[in-house]
Amino acid sequence: MMKIKHFTPVVLLVIGLAWAAFPTGIPAAPIQVHVNNTMPPGGSEEAGVAKFKELVEQKSKGQMQVTPFLGGQLGGEKAVLGLLKIGKTEMSLTGGIFLGQFASEYNALNIPYLFTWEQLVNYVGGPAGKKIDELSLQKGGLVVFGPQYRGPRHMTSNKPVKEAKDIKGLKMRLPEEPVWLRVWKALGALPVAIPAPEIYMAMQTGQVEAHENTLVSPYSRSLWEVQKYIIMTSHIYWPWWWVASESWFKKLTPEQQKIIRESAAEAAKYGEKVEREKDDFYVVELKKKGMTFIDPDIDSIKKAAKPAILDEVKRLHPDIQKEMIQYLPK
């Protein structure tokens, strides 16, 4: 019969310490972070997301892995917001739809000719921005990290637009954004609802005579074939937003949360740099393609739009209406 060895407490302690010196099993799997965006690859959006991936994986020493989902692979912005709310995806570089959904009374950002980019940044960094963050968290389950620069929106047209009166009667493709529709109608434009993929065909057939968007739109859609003029109206800045699912974010450690926040802020700065460079590139290339750039009488357009802009300000929360007075067109 085998003798059973009895170990003293001291021997057991030594064995335990020796065992602890060796790896205790399989390392924890990296935390997966999916980042969504509706734009196809090639723009400042992709550049910002790529920078975010680089920073997060570097700062976390590989403990967090970022996978970009570009081109609306998980659906449009509304669909992705729904997934974020229930924790089925982690992050998104999203447009401003959520502002209207969750914080409409504080959403002054969608009013044309109200903010310069610098003023917009100050606005979202102040009390109104804090309220937007709170309401987005409460109603949408979103943690909002902040905006990423997107170039100003301008007009394209097959007719020259040099002042406000030239907009009257212009058949203009506009997104179905109620505030924008009301302001452009006040300027005399005739809004036409056309899905974005059909813009070129609608211009070719004469269904629309003009549209508005950032400079990537005429460049990526080859609109020089159906439009002659780009009118540099700079009527609104409509940024991207870095957001995360609260149900996912709260599971991270404080250090991991810090990595996500810092990386989003740095990625936004990088995305802005790329966007500004691309806008300069688009101007050069569109001129090469034969498009004529017009610097219109902005003051005349602002003056004509001011009553409609003031009406939109009055729809905002009373607490911020007074603050908005300083931003109104003179």
Q: Which of 238, 218, 206 is nearest to 293 (CA)?
A: 218
User: Which pLDDT score is estimated for 4?
Assistant: 42
Does residue 209 share a domain with residue 125?
Answer: no
User: 102: domain range?
Assistant: 31-151+238-287
Does residue 179 share a domain with residue 45?
Answer: no
Does residue 281 share a domain with residue 258?
Answer: yes
Does residue 250 share a domain with residue 228?
Answer: no
Strand, helix or coil for residue 264: helix
Kindly report, residue by residue over 14-66, the tens digit of the pLDDT: 444 444 444 445 567 999 999 999 888 889 999 999 999 999 999 999 999 99
User: Which pLDDT score is estimated for 8?
Assistant: 53
User: Which pLDDT score is estimated for 22?
Assistant: 43
- What residue ranges of the chain have pLDDT lower than 70? 1-27
Residue 14 forms part of a structural domain: no
Per the structure, how many domains does the chain have?
2
Residue 25 forms part of a structural domain: no
| Angle (CA) 281 285 289, round 5° | 165
User: Which pLDDT score is estimated for 26?
Assistant: 59
pTM: 0.85
The 8-class DSSP code of residue 152 comes to: P
Does residue 51 share a domain with residue 101?
Answer: yes
Does residue 224 share a domain with residue 181?
Answer: yes
The 8-class DSSP code of residue 313 comes to: H
Residue type at 114 in one-letter notation: L
In CATH, what number is assigned to the domain containing residue 231?
Answer: 3.40.190.170
Alpha-carbon span 72 to 228, nearest angstrom: 30
